[in-house]
């Protein structure tokens, strides 16, 4: 089986919905701790207007601090979300290793999120991705609301595939499908990824599932079965898109890793450390997080333990 990649996005997607702003030093502690668990990528933040998303106002400073203390090549790849040319410029200036950017397949969600139509947003993201690659950076492009929209309901798969083909025609091979509204079901996941693989079996596929309706982990399993390699998750299940109708958290990193461990996959990732971090994040926010395994504890590997 291909190597499974775990991409922790809690510091970006997880925090953008939180009203309580997390101090810089606390974020740095959380990033260092999750980086030490053996996950492959950590999304540090997004380069957005600080007035619109105050939680992301310190993204530049986080990257600058982390870049100064990293002992490369050890440690996970540090990623960030960018929405426009200005964000890319900021990211290039402070050491981002992987730029994540995307387009919504829902016209309503696209306009609420970016102020642009799907076609306009696709043109812009393809251009920005090309600029990032020419600068020597790695790029992951995504299709948001790929499995449904909180405003429009069903999103035709042909609309998703049209965006994917635009990416592939531009030479962009690292592609994620994001279930922004949490509408995906396992059979739908297998069908849509299967159709992409029929277009190009060499594409490097990623997934980003929200647990709005309780199906995120099942959808991860379906994606794994069909050949998806990279899984985006959030510590404690934090998260949600502020521009969708009903915001639900991401699949919890510790729940995903617990499932993988039960399957004999990625057993070197430090699950107890992830559970302790989820506990501490829950304590910081003063409430239970959506994740499950940090509350129940992992199933013992030794019977009777």
Does domain 5-296 correspond to CATH entry 3.90.550.10? no
Q: Tell me which of 94, 100, 207, 241 is the catalytic residue.
A: 241
Query: What pLDDT, on a 0 to 100 scale, did the predictor assign at position 115?
Result: 80
Q: Give the CA distances from residue 149 to residues 152, 183, 208, 215, 241, in Å, rounded to whole numbers and listed in that order.
A: 5, 7, 14, 15, 12
Assess contact for 200 and 171: CB atoms under 8 A.
Answer: no
pTM for the whole structure = 0.94
* Helix 24-35 vs helix 59-69: crossing angle, to nearest 10: 50
Number of CB atoms found within 10 A of residue 25's CB: 9
Are the C-beta atoms of residues 225 and 187 closer than 8 Å to each other? Answer: no
Q: pLDDT at residue 22 above 80? A: yes
Q: Is 241 a catalytic residue?
A: yes
**pLDDT higher than 80, residue 121:** yes
Q: For 192-215, how does the pLDDT look when each residue is reduced to its tens digit (9 = 90+)?
A: 999 999 999 999 999 999 999 999
């Amino acid at each position: 089986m291909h190597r499974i990649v775990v991409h922790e996005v809690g510091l970006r997607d997880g925090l953008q919905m939180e009203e309580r702003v997390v101090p810089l030093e606390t974020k740095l502690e959380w990033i260092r701790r999750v980086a030490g668990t053996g996950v492959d990528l950590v999304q540090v933040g997004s380069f957005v207007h600080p007035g619109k998303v105050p939680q992301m106002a310190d993204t530049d400073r986080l990257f600058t601090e982390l870049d100064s203390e990293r002992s490369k090549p050890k440690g996970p790849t540090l990623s960030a979300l960018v929405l426009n040319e200005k964000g890319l410029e900021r990211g290039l200036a402070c050491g981002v290793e992987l730029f994540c950017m995307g387009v919504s397949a829902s016209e309503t969600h696209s306009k609420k999120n970016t102020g642009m139509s799907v076609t306009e947003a696709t043109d812009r993201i393809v251009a920005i991705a090309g600029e990032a690659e020419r600068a020597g950076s790695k790029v992951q492009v995504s299709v948001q609301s790929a499995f449904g929209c909180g405003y429009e309901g069903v999103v035709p798969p042909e609309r998703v595939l049209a965006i994917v083909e635009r990416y592939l025609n531009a030479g962009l091979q690292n592609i994620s499908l994001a279930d922004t509204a949490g509408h995906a079901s396992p059979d739908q996941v297998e069908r849509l990824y299967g159709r992409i693989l029929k277009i190009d079996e060499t594409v490097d596929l990623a997934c980003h599932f929200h647990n709005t309706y309780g199906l995120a982990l099942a959808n991860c399993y379906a994606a794994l079965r069909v050949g998806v390699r990279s899984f985006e998750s959030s510590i404690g299940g934090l998260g949600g898109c502020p521009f969708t109708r009903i915001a639900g958290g991401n699949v919890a990193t510790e729940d995903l890793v617990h499932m993988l461990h039960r399957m004999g996959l990625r057993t070197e990732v430090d699950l107890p450390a992830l559970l302790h971090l989820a506990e501490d994040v829950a304590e910081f926010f003063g409430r239970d997080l959506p994740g499950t395994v940090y509350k129940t504890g992992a199933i013992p590997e030794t019977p009777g333990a």
